[in-house]
């Protein structure tokens, strides 16, 4: 019983981190697009990519493909896709973890 609870607790924490990271990442992409339209100081590309890999893949996906920001830069698209795959694999193996 303890194994089951611990397994789902770890999975729940990772899901929570993905939600928070995705919201932060989406906020950064949206803010950078607004700043780009108004010729203001921009968010560093390194910061956007790091936010993608730190549990922000879904938010980055929305920022790139729905808000249409940074679509001309292949490394943003690639980092988003790789991060989505990595985070999905981590969540899958965490959910199926056996202690």
Q: What share of the chain is helix, strand, coil (3-state, %, to 5)?
A: 80, 0, 20
For residue 99, the model assigns a pLDDT of 47
pTM reported for the whole predicted model: 0.87
Q: How far is CA 29 from CA 16, 45, 58, 68, 86, in A?
A: 20, 10, 12, 10, 20
CA dihedral 31, 85, 71, 48 (to 10 degrees): 30
Q: What pLDDT was estimated at residue 35? A: 95
Tens of pLDDT along the chain (99 residues) come to 777 788 788 888 999 999 999 999 999 999 999 999 999 999 999 999 999 999 999 999 999 989 988 888 899 999 999 999 999 998 888 877 654
| Domain locations along the chain | 2-95
């Amino acid at each position: 019983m303890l194994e089951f609870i611990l397994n789902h607790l770890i999975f729940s924490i990772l899901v929570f981190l993905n939600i928070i990271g995705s919201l932060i990442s989406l906020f950064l992409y949206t803010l950078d697009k607004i700043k780009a339209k108004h010729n203001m100081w921009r968010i560093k590309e390194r910061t956007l990519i790091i936010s993608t890999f730190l549990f922000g893949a879904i938010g980055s996906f929305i920022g790139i493909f729905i808000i249409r920001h940074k679509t001309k830069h292949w490394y943003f698209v690639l980092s988003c896709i790789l991060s989505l795959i990595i985070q999905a694999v981590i969540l899958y193996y965490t959910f199926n973890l056996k202690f």
